[in-house]
């Protein structure tokens, strides 16, 4: 990496940091800084959540808070002109041992004016091949207490509409461009909620344009509250083959604490409609939530089984910085100073670590590890399942979790396996 960086001779080194990648990004930046006298900037949700904490690190010269397109453009134009501009909105600077804190600019309301992402470098290293990831919107209409949208919506209060949708024409153009360049045969909409499903007239327009000009199967995320017969029929006719829906917990009281106000009956009805329309349902569950009991977790597993999901992805509750649920845990003394420090430094993840004081720590780890594979097995195996989750979190359970990975997203797993040899070959060839 150092060799490639020196060969490239960068003017600016930039990273985007989600919380659980922050330790690696910090380590890489420290190494680059030791070899290259180049300014560094880090953006993304982690520095946005903890700007002063992140900027204390010697390896970072600047941070970008919130959306970065216009801020980065202003920064590189300033650097290119040779005139130092320390008043660029969204960017905080270190200057002579002081921190210059600039305000937040309004949100970009017209997303169509942004250029399409350049994926050539990612394709070269086979980060993707047959499927392409698209975002047709930004923000979210919901405010789940564990999610970064909870934080971003407060950060951007009075800075324009937080939830924004690209035009259907603009989305279709990007998809077609990627099909022509890379030969993709599957589309993954990564929006927090598929944006065209909120409005039936808009969904009809999307269906007509997508089936006519694209015609590929796609996957998206949905919320139980917007699922009905008419919408799901339109989604199926549009080409939706897989749909992801967050359940999180079967305990309605716990769900309300997550700012999730759908009832169990609404979730059951939504799952039936999705399955009825022959769309493969992927469900999500979170274990180790504050105040969650063993019976709560077990009931979530049984409830999820009733939904007849195609597969289930599981997560361990992770108190992401400055989210509503993380602040609740701190206020209720559920997090020690060691836990708080670990989260600030991005240690652990929502797949490996429970960073709150919880009476069912081992059970949480077991539920996370075993639920995906047992959800695919017949219900008579649940007696064994219950015995296993009550025991210690052992290497056997870790192994079973690894065995369940293909079940989390089979299509994606097989594609990764197919692409991996080329990724290794291209990386090593470039390294030489």
Interval 187-232: pLDDT, tens? 999 999 999 999 999 999 999 999 999 999 999 999 999 999 999 9
Q: Give the pLDDT band (50/70/90) at residue 9.
A: very high
Q: Find the mean pLDDT for residues 46-69.
A: 96
Cβ(22)–Cβ(46) under 8 Å? yes
> Which DSSP string do the residues of 165-234 spell out, in sequence order?
E--HHHHHHHHHHHHHHH---EEEE-SSS-GGGG-HHHHHHHHHHHHHHT---EEEEE-GGG--HHHHHH
**Residues 6+ positions from 66 with CB-CB distance below 8 Å:** 48, 90, 104, 105, 152, 155, 156
User: What would the pLDDT profile of 366-382 be if each residue is shown by its tens digit?
Assistant: 999 999 999 989 999 99
pLDDT tier at 3 (50, 70, 90 boundaries)? confident
What's the pLDDT score for residue 53? 96
Q: Exposure string (b/e) for 65-82, b if CB count within 10 Å is 16 or more?
A: bbbbeebbebbeebeeee
pLDDT of residue 398: 82
Beta-bridged to residue 407, according to DSSP, are: none
Crossing angle (nearest 10°) for helices 382-390 and 294-306:
150
pTM: 0.93
> If you ran DSSP here, which 8-state letter would residue 134 be given?
E
For residue 60, give the DSSP letter.
-
Q: Which residues contact 418 (CB under 8 A, 6 or more apart)?
A: 129
Q: What is the pLDDT of residues 85-134, one digit of tens each?
A: 999 999 999 998 899 999 999 999 999 999 999 999 888 888 888 899 99
Spell out the domains of the chain, with CATH numbers in brackets: 2-101 (3.40.50.280), 117-418 (3.80.30.20)
Q: How do residues 393-430 score in pLDDT, each as one tens digit? A: 888 888 888 888 887 777 788 888 888 888 888 877 76
Q: State both tokens at 176.
A: 């077609």
Tell me what pLDDT residue 430 has. 66
- Residue 276 scores a pLDDT above 70: yes
Instruction: Give percent of the chain with pLDDT exceeding 90.
Output: 83
Task: Compute how many other C-beta atoms are within 10 angstroms of the C-beta atom of residue 29.
Answer: 21
> What is the total residue count of the chain?
432
Q: What is the pLDDT of residues 312-346, one digit of tens each?
A: 999 999 999 999 999 999 999 999 999 999 999 99
**Mutual angle of helices 395-408 and 361-375, in 10-degree steps:** 40
- Tokens representing 89? 């909105």
pLDDT number for residue 285: 97
> What are phi and psi for residue 355, nearest 5 degrees?
-100, 40
Chain-centre distance for alpha carbon 167: 23
Give the distance from CA 381 to its chain's centroid: 32
Q: What is the DSSP secondary-structure string of 86-99?
A: ---TTEEEEETTEE
Average pLDDT (72-92) is 95
Q: Which residue has the tokens 């091949």?
A: 129
Contact between 199 and 141 (Cβ < 8 Å): no
**Residue 425: per-residue pLDDT:** 85
Buried-state track 393-423, b at ≥16 Cβ within 10 A, e below 16: beeebeebbeebebbbbebbeebbeebeeee
pLDDT on residue 57: 95
Looking at residues 233-243, what average pLDDT do you find? 97
pLDDT of 431: 60
DSSP code at position 19? G
Q: pLDDT tens digit string along 352-364?
A: 999 999 999 999 9
166-183 pLDDT, tens digit per residue, is: 999 999 999 999 999 999
Say if residues 336 and 328 touch (Cβ distance below 8 Å). Answer: no
* 420/118 Cα distance (integer angstroms): 21
Tokens of 278: 């022959």
- Measured in degrees and rounded to the nearest 5, phi and psi for residue 93 equal -115, 150
pLDDT greater than 60 at residue 432: no
């Amino acid at each position: 990496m150092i060799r490639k960086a020196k060969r490239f001779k960068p003017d600016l080194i930039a990273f985007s940091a989600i919380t659980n990648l922050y330790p690696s990004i910090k380590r890489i930046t420290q190494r680059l800084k030791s070899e290259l006298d180049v300014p560094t900037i880090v953006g993304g949700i982690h520095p946005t959540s903890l700007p002063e904490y992140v900027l204390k690190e010697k390896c970072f010269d600047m941070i970008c808070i919130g959306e970065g397109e216009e801020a980065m453009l202003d920064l590189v134009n300033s650097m290119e002109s040779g005139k130092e501009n320390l008043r660029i909105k969204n960017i905080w600077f270190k200057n002579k041992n002081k921190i210059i804190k600039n305000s937040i600019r309004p949100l970009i309301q017209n997303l169509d004016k942004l250029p399409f992402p350049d994926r050539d470098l990612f394709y070269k290293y086979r980060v993707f091949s047959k499927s392409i990831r698209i975002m047709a919107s930004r923000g979210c209409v919901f405010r789940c207490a564990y999610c970064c949208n909870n934080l971003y919506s407060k950060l951007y209060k009075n800075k324009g509409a937080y939830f924004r949708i690209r035009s259907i024409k603009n989305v279709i153009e990007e998809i077609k461009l990627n099909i022509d360049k890379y030969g993709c045969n599957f589309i993954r909409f990564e929006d927090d909620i598929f944006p065209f499903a909120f409005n039936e007239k808009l969904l009809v327009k999307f269906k007509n344009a997508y089936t006519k000009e694209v015609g590929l199967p796609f996957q998206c995320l949905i919320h139980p509250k917007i699922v009905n017969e008419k919408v799901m029929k339109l989604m199926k006719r549009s080409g939706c083959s897989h749909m992801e829906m967050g359940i999180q917990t079967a305990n309605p009281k716990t769900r309300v604490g997550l700012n999730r106000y759908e009832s169990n009956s609404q979730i059951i009805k939504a799952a039936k409609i999705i399955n009825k329309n022959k769309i493969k349902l992927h469900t999500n569950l979170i274990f180790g939530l504050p105040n969650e009991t063993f019976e709560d977790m077990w009931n979530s597993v049984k409830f999820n089984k009733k939904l007849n999901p195609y597969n289930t992805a599981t997560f361990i509750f992770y108190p992401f910085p400055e989210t509503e649920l993380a602040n609740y845990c701190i206020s209720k003394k559920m997090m020690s100073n060691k836990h708080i420090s670990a989260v600030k430094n991005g240690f652990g993840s929502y797949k490996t670590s429970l960073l709150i004081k919880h009476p069912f720590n081992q059970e949480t780890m077991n539920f996370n590890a075993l639920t995906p594979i047992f959800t695919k097995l017949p219900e008579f195996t649940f007696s064994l399942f219950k015995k296993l989750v009550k025991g210690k979190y052992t290497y056997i359970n870790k192994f079973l979790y690894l065995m369940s990975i293909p079940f989390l997203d089979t299509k994606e797993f097989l594609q990764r396996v197919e692409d991996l040899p080329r990724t290794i070959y291209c990386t090593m060839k470039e390294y030489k």
